[in-house]
A and B are shown apart, each in its own frame.
Chain A
Amino acid sequence: MEGKYKHPGTGRMPAVMIFFVIMALFLQACAGASATSTPGPVSQEQASQTATTEGAIQKGTLRVALQPIVQTDPALISSDPEIMVANAVYDYLVDITPQNTITPRLAVDWKVSNDGLTYVFTLVKGVTFHDGSSFSANDVVWTFNRLKNPDVGSSTADLYANIDKIEATSDLEVTFTLKNPNPFFLFDLSDNHALVMKVNTQDPTDFNGTGPFVVTKYSPEDRVIVQANPNYFVKGEPKLAGIEFIFFNDQTAQVDALRGGQVDLVFAISTDLYTNLQNEQDLTLLDVATNAFDLIRLRADQKPGDDPRVIHALKLATDREAIFNLVLQSFGEPGRDSPIGPLYTQYYTDQYPLPARDVNKAKQLLADAGYQNGLKLDLHTPDTGNRPNLAAVLKDQWSEAGVDINVIVEPESVYYGENHWLEVNLGITGWGSRPYPQFYLDVMLKCGAKWNEAHYCNSKLDELMTTAGTTMDEQKRVEAYHEIQQILIEEGPIIIPYFFAQLGAINNQYQGFVMKAFPGRSDFRPVMFTGS
Chain B
Amino acid sequence: MSTKVPGDLTNLQSAASSRGRRFATALKGLYAKPASAFGTTIFMVFVLLAVIGPLIAPYGENQIIATEAKQPPSTSHWFGTDNLGRDIFSRVVLGARDILALSGLGTLLAVIIGIFLGLISGYRGGWFDETIMRFFDSLLALPALLLALVLLGILGPSNNSVLIVIVVVYTPIVARVVRSVALGVKTKGFVEVARLQGESLTWILTREILPSVLPALTVEAALRFSYAIFLVASLGFLGVGVQPPNPNWGLMVSEARSNVNQTPWAMVFPAAAISIVVIGVNLMADGLKRVFQAPVNV
Contacts and interface: CB of A to CB of B under 8 A. Distances in A.
Indicate whether A and B are direct neighbours in the complex (CB within 8 Å).
Answer: yes
B25 interface: no
Interface string B31-67: 0000000000000000000000000000010111010
Contact of A409 (B244, B258, B261): B244
Contacts of A383: 239
A396 B239 contact: no
B105 to A, nearest CB: 20
Interface residues of A, number: 27
B262 interface: yes
Residue in B66, B239, B259, B262 with the greatest tally of chain A CB atoms within 10 Å: B66
B239 A326 contact: no
B125 interface: no
A252 interface: yes
Contacts of A388: 244, 255
Interface in B141-193: 157
Interface stretch (A211-219, A269-277, A451-459): A269-277
Contact of B258 (A270, A327, A395): A270
Given A326-B84, A408-B243, A409-B239, A252 B66 contact: no
Contact of A326 (B64, B245, B258): B64
A276 B244 contact: no
B243 A406 contact: yes
B114 to A, nearest CB: 32
B245 A395 contact: yes
Interface in B58-111: 60, 62-64, 66, 69, 83-85
Interface in B244-282: 244-245, 255, 257-262
Interface in B220-258: 239, 243-245, 255, 257-258
A348 B37 CA distance: 68
Residue in B64, B239, B243, B255 with the greatest tally of chain A CB atoms within 10 Å: B64
A322 interface: yes
Contacts of A276: 258-262
A325 B257 CA distance: 20
Nearest to B83: A272
A272 B260 CA distance: 10
Contacts of B258: 251-252, 255, 270, 272-273, 276
Nearest to B156: A408
Contacts of A255: 258
B8 to A, nearest CB: 12
A393 B257 contact: no
A459 to B, nearest CB: 38
Interface residues of B, number: 21
A388 B85 CA distance: 15
**Dominant SS among interface residues on chain A:** helix
A311 to B, nearest CB: 22
A392 B85 CA distance: 11
Contacts of B63: 396
B245 A392 contact: yes
B62 A399 contact: yes
Nearest to B255: A388
Residue in B66, B83, B245, B258 with the greatest tally of chain A CB atoms within 10 Å: B258
Contacts of B83: 272, 326, 389
Contacts of B64: 322, 326, 392-393, 396-397
A26 to B, nearest CB: 23
Interface string A387-430: 01101110111010000001111000000000000000000000
Contacts of B244: 388, 391-392, 407, 409
A381 B64 CA distance: 19
B158 to A, nearest CB: 9
A252 B257 contact: yes
Interface of B: 60, 62-64, 66, 69, 83-85, 157, 239, 243-245, 255, 257-262
19 contacts: A255-B258, A270-B258, A272-B83, A272-B259, A272-B262, A273-B258, A276-B258, A276-B259, A322-B64, A322-B66, A326-B66, A326-B69, A388-B244, A389-B83, A391-B245, A393-B84, A396-B63, A396-B64, A407-B243
Interface of A: 251-252, 255, 270, 272-273, 275-276, 319, 322, 325-327, 383, 388-389, 391-393, 395-397, 399, 406-409
